[in-house]
Amino acid sequence: AQVNQEYEIEEFLPNFIIIGGDGANELLTFKLDEPHKWAIFATPLIAMTEEDSVLLAKGFDEFLTLFSK
């Protein structure tokens, strides 16, 4: 969508899409290919590389459990 185009996500992080952010330094991203398909990552805005992205959850259900603790 528009936010993915604005951040040029296809150029810097192929096979990822942006689903949100923390309003400061990190984006929340979905990975669209294996082995982590639909996993959610925290991706730093400055580096914006797969290597610098941190796996938060293996899927959306697991991501939601992070907020129930």
Q: What is the pLDDT of residues 37-67, one digit of tens each?
A: 899 999 999 989 999 999 999 998 899 998 8
Helix, strand, or coil here: 21? strand
Is pLDDT of 5 > 80?
yes
As a whole number, mean pLDDT of residues 7-12 equals: 92
Q: Where are the alpha helices (DSSP H) in the chain?
A: 2-6, 9-12, 60-65
Q: Which residues of 45-58 are buried (b: 16+ CB within 10 A; e: fewer)?
A: eeebebeebeeebe
Using CA atoms in the order 58, 49, 30, 8, what is the torsion angle rounded to 10 degrees?
180
